[in-house]
Chain A
Amino acid sequence: MINFLFLVTLLIYLAASIFQTLSLAISNRSEAAIIRPTIERIAFWGTSIGFAFLSLFIPLWWLTQGHFPMTHWTDSTAFFAWAITLIYLIIVRLTHLRTLGSFVMPVAFIAILISYSFATHTAALPEPLQNYWLLAHTTLIFIGYAAFIAAFGFGLMYLIAERKIRKKTDTLLDNLLPSLGISDELGYRCTILGVILLTMGVIVGSLWTQYIRDVPWKWLDAKVISTLMTWLIYVLQIGLRQFWGWHGRRAAYAAIIGFVAVLCTYVGVDLFLDSMHTYR
C-alpha cells in the first residue's frame, strides 16, 4: 500500500515536471497559447499535491524506522526532492515566478525516481547516531542543497533569456522568463541562503562529532572534504560578486558549476569513495 502510494507520488512528480516544462515550451504565437494558463495551473497544483504526499512519507518512515529517516538512498533522495519542492514553493509564494519549476521540478523528479527504485531497501543505523543531531545536521544541509538547486534554475533561466535577447528575434513575445536582473538577483539570494544553511549544517555536524562515542570518526572523510570544496565554490562566488562585480553571466555559470559540485558531493562520493557518510 505504501509502495503504491509512493508510486503515485512519483507519477505526480513526473506529470508536474512535464507540465512545468510544457508551459514554458508553448509559444505565445501558437494556437495552444490559450491553454497555457491551464497547463500552468495543473503543473503548479501537481507540484503542491506531490509535495503534500511526500510530506507524509517522511514522518511515516520516521515512525517505522524509529529515527529520522536518513540512512539509505530511499530516504535521502526522497528528502532531497521534498527540500527542493519546499524551496520552490517558498520562492513561488514570495515572487510568483512559477517558471522556475520548469528547471527544478525535473531534478526533484529524478531524485524521487532514484528513491523509488530503492524503495524496498532499508539500512541499519548504528545506535549511537540515532538522535536529533542527525535531524538537524541533514535537514540543514539538504535544504541548503535545495537552495543551490534553485540558484542553478535561476542560472539556467538567465542564460536562456540572455541568449534570446542577444539573438534579437522573438525576444519579446516568446520570452516568458523573468528579466535578466531578476534571475540574477534571485539566484544570488538563493546562493546566500544555501551557503548559510550549509555552513550551519556543517557546524552542527562537527559539534556532533564531539558527542559520538563508540563509532570510529576521522576528520579526513571524503564527504567532509568534498562538502568543504562545494562550500568554498559558493563562498568564492559570493566574494567575487561582492568585490569584483561578478554577476550576470558569470554568476549563472558559477551556479551551474556549484550544481555539479553538489551532485559530486551528494552522489559521487557515495559511489566511488569510502566515507563515513555513505548511504547503503
Chain B
Amino acid sequence: MNQIISIGTSHHVAPIEFREKLAFSEAQLTESLQHLRESYQIHEAVILSTCNRVEVYAVANAVRTADAAAKMLIEFLSHYHYIGVEPLKKWTYLHHNLETIQHLFRVTASLDSMVVGESQILGQVKAAFGASREAGGAGTVLNRLFTKAFSVGKRIRSETTIATGAVSISYAAVELAKKIFNTLEGKTVAIIGAGEMSELTAKHLVSNGVSNVIVANRTYERAVKVAEKFNGTPVAYDSDLGFLIDADIVITSTNAPDYLIKRQPLVNIMRKRRHRYMFLIDIAVPRDIEPDVSKIDHAFLYNIDDLEAVVASNLKDRQQEATRAEQIVVEEAKRFYDQLQIFQVNPTIKALHQQFREIADTELQACFYKATLSDQQEAAVASMTQAIVKKLLHHPMQNLRCAVNDGNADHGQYVQALQELFALDVNDKETSNQ
C-alpha cells in the first residue's frame, strides 16, 4: 500500500543555520529526486525548498509501515547533505498519511507561514511541484495531492479573509491611497527625505499606477540620486512647499527635528491645487508633519503609528481567520484521504471482480457446449452463475470497503493478501507509476 510521508523543517522548529544546510538549490532538485527514487524505495517525491522551509513529500508503496518510509527519508537527507541523523531528528518534523495531507494543505494555504496569508508560498509550492513533475518525481498520488492542495488553498483564500488587508506599512499606505483617490493612475507622489521605507512605499505606489515621482531633499545631489531610481523629478526643498502643488501623495522621512510641513503653508498649497485630495504619510520620528494638518479639508494625514495600528489590526484579523481556515483544512484533508484510500483499493476490487467473471463466463461456455439447453434454460443458468459470483464477492468486498472507510490500517494488508492469494494482476498504472 502507498505510504504518504513528509519530512521537513521550517522557521517554526529550526534556526537558519540548520535550514540552510538542508536547502536544495534548483540545480540539485532533479538530481536529488532521481537519487531518491533510484537508491531508496521511494516512488514519488516532491521537494519544496524556500528560505523559510525545506520539505520532502514522498510516496512509498513497497514498504509496510510509514515509519520504515520515514527512516528512508531521514537516511536520504543525512547522506545527501552530510548531516548527522541526530540533529535531523531534532530539527525536523515527520508526518504520515493524513497528517502529511493536512500539513501540505496548511503550508499551501499559507497557514504555516511567518506572515499568515502571504501569497508567495502558493507560487513556491507550485514551482516545486512543477519541477518535480518535470523530473519525473511526481506520480499519480502526488499529482492528486498537490492539485487538491492548490484548490484548497484557493478555497481558503476566497472563503476567509486571511489574505486580505495589508500587513506591511508600505502596503497599508497603498491600500489607504486606494480608498482616497478614484484611481492612482496619473497621480504624483512626492518623497521628502530619503530612506528605505519611503522608497519602498513609493515603489509600491508606482507599481499600483502612480505615474510621477518628485523627490525633494535638502541637498539637491541626494535628491537627484534618489530620483534616478524612479525616473522621477528631483527638486530642491524650499520651506514654502511650492513643490507640493502637484503632489497627490506625500511621503516624509527626514531627520529634521521640527515640523517641515505646517498647517498654514499647506492650506495655501491646498488652495492653489484647488483642494484636490492630498494623502500625507509621515514615517519620520520625530514627526515631519504638523498633526493639525489633518484638519485641513481633503488632506489626510497618517503617521507611522497610525499605519502600524492598521497593520496590527490586519494581522490580528488574519490570526482570527486562520482558525476558520484550519477547520477547512481538517475537513478537506479527511475527505481527500478517504477518497485516496478508496481510489487505491479500487483496482484490486476491479481485478478480483473481473477474474471471477471471466472464470464464470468460461465455465458457462463450456457447459453450454456440452449440454443442449433451451434458450430459457441457458438464461436461467447464466443468471444463476452471476448471482453466485455476486454473493461470493459480497462479504469480502464489503469488509474491505469498511476497513477503508473506518481508516483501518489493515486494509493495506487485505489488499496485499487478496492480490497474492488470487494471483491478481494489478499492474494498473493507477497504483504504481513505475
Contacts and interface: CB of A to CB of B under 8 A. Distances in A.
Interface in B115-164: 159, 161, 164
Contacts of A182: 182
Interface stretch (A72-80, A170-178, A194-202): A170-178
A248 B299 CA distance: 11
B276 A165 contact: no
A180 B165 contact: no
A270 interface: no
B91 interface: no
Interface in B297-311: 297-298, 300, 302, 306, 309-310
Given A179-B178, A179-B181, A168 B309 contact: yes
A172 B318 CA distance: 13
Contacts of A41: none
Contact of B166 (A170, A172, A179): A172
A247 interface: yes
B399 interface: no
B182 A29 contact: no
Contacts of B277: 180-181, 248
A169 B313 contact: yes
Contacts of A181: 180-183, 277
B338 interface: no
Interface residues of A, number: 27
Given A165-B300, A166-B294, A171-B176, A180 B313 contact: no
A92 to B, nearest CB: 18
Contact of A168 (B164, B302, B317): B302
B215 interface: no
A184 B275 CA distance: 13
A147 B201 CA distance: 39
A175 B302 CA distance: 17
Contacts of B274: 244-245
B182 A185 contact: yes
A185 B275 CA distance: 14
Contacts of B276: 245
B317 A165 contact: no
B275 A173 contact: no
A28 interface: yes
Interface in A157-216: 161, 165-166, 168-173, 175, 179-182, 184-185
A120 to B, nearest CB: 48
Contacts of B172: 172
B320 interface: yes
Contacts of A29: 161, 317, 320
Contact of B297 (A173, A185, A249): A249
> Most chain-B Cβ atoms within 10 A of its Cβ — which of A33, A165, A172, A250?
A172
A172 B182 contact: no
A60 interface: no
A5 interface: no
Interface residues of B, number: 30
Contacts of A28: 161, 164, 317
B168 to A, nearest CB: 13
A246 B166 CA distance: 32
A169 B179 contact: no
A35 B294 CA distance: 36
A46 to B, nearest CB: 25
B430 interface: no
A220 B165 CA distance: 58
Contacts of A179: 178-182
Nearest to B297: A249
B310 A172 contact: yes
A277 to B, nearest CB: 39
A203 B306 CA distance: 53
A111 B320 CA distance: 43
A11 B166 CA distance: 41
A34 B164 CA distance: 14
A129 B165 CA distance: 60
B314 interface: yes
A180 B277 CA distance: 9
B258 interface: no
B325 to A, nearest CB: 12
B161 A249 contact: no
B182 A248 contact: no
A248 B179 contact: no
Contact of A173 (B178, B180, B317): B317
B204 to A, nearest CB: 15
A250 B270 CA distance: 15
Contact of B179 (A161, A244, A247): A161
A249 B298 contact: yes
Given A165-B176, A180-B181, A182-B182, A172 B298 contact: no
B331 interface: no
A248 B181 CA distance: 11
A181 B298 CA distance: 10
A172 B179 contact: yes
Nearest to B316: A29
Interface in A12-68: 28-29, 33-34
A173 B298 contact: no
A173 B317 CA distance: 9
A95 to B, nearest CB: 11
A179 B175 CA distance: 10
Given A175-B179, A180-B181, A168 B161 contact: no
Interface string A244-269: 11111110000000000000000000
A168 B164 CA distance: 17
A179 to B, nearest CB: 5
B275 A247 contact: yes
Nearest to B307: A168
B328 to A, nearest CB: 11
B107 to A, nearest CB: 24
Contact of A248 (B159, B298, B302): B298
A72 B176 CA distance: 49
B179 A171 contact: yes
Contact of A171 (B161, B298, B310): B310
Interface in B354-394: none
Given A172-B314, A180-B179, 11 more contacts: A33-B161, A166-B300, A168-B306, A171-B179, A173-B161, A173-B164, A175-B179, A245-B276, A246-B275, A248-B297, A250-B297
Closest 9 pairs between A and B when the two form their complex, measured CB to CB: A181-B182, A245-B274, A182-B182, A181-B181, A245-B275, A168-B306, A173-B165, A179-B179, A180-B180
6 contacts: A28-B164, A165-B179, A175-B179, A179-B179, A244-B274, A248-B298
